[in-house]
């Protein structure tokens, strides 16, 4: 989830302007209470779920029996006649070694390689010029904010003409 720039680790999505916005970012983090301490991985994922469900037109879909540990979030917007999955969390294969929680996004095909270049893993191409990407789970509150930046792109791309 981190990009190395000039031997400095910067959260994905903040780039060169990070220094200019750092003060504002700290104020926002303090306001939201995310700078008090870093939660464990599961706590950060639960925070991500709350954030996702707080976005307009987002709903959590029912679990799939063959992958009960995978949570799926979709945009369902009848006024715009759109419905699309944009976020998945959990594990496809819980018995295989690996992290307990993974985060997957459905991104525009043009954006997916950039996320892969920053540590994501490209998955299959999907209809509507979108691509499945494993982006990894956040390990601290700073990475959670950066992950939410990336996921906003996935969320917006679920709407027509985004």
Tokens of 67: 């992958």
Least confident of 51-60, 81-90, 103-112, 135-144: 135-144
161 pLDDT tier (thresholds 50, 70, 90): confident
Please tell me which residue, 100 or 123, carries the higher pLDDT value: 123
Q: Which ranges of 11-157 would DSSP assign to H, the alpha helix? A: 18-32, 41-53, 112-117, 141-157
**Mean pLDDT, rounded, for 26-49:** 67
The overall pTM is greater than 0.75: no
Longest CA span, the chain: 47
**Mean pLDDT, rounded, for 4-27:** 43
User: Could you report the per-residue pLDDT of 41-91, keeping only the tens digit for each?
Assistant: 778 889 999 999 999 999 999 999 998 889 999 999 999 999 999 999 998
The backbone torsions φ and ψ at residue 119, rounded to the nearest 5 degrees and listed phi first, read: 115, -5
Dihedral of CA atoms 55, 91, 111, 19 in degrees, nearest 10, equals 70
Q: Answer yes or no: is pLDDT of 23 > 50.
A: no
- Per CATH, domain 38-157 is 1.20.5: no
pLDDT attached to residue 159: 92
Structural contact between residues 46 and 101, judged by C-beta atoms closer than 8 angstroms: no
Can you spell out the DSSP letters for 72-106?
A: EEEEEEGGGTEEEEEEEEE-S-TTSSS-S-EEEEE
pLDDT attached to residue 151: 95
User: Where do the structural domains in the chain lie, given as residue ranges?
Assistant: 38-157
């Amino acid at each position: 989830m981190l990009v190395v720039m000039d031997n400095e680790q910067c959260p994905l999505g903040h780039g060169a302007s990070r220094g200019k916005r750092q003060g504002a970012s700290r104020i926002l983090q303090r306001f939201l209470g995310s700078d008090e301490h870093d939660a464990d991985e599961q706590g950060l994922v639960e925070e991500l779920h709350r954030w996702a469900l707080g976005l307009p037109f987002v709903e959590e879909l029912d679990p799939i029996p063959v992958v009960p540990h995978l949570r799926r979030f979709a945009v369902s917007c009848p006024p715009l006649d759109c419905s699309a999955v944009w976020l998945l969390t959990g594990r496809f294969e819980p018995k295989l070694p690996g992290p307990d929680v993974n985060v997957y996004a459905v991104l525009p095909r043009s954006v997916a390689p950039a996320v892969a270049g920053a540590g994501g893993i490209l998955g299959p191409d999907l209809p509507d010029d979108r691509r499945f990407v494993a982006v990894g789970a956040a390990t601290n509150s700073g990475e959670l904010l950066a992950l939410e930046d990336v996921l906003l792109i996935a969320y917006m791309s679920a709407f027509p003409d985004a």
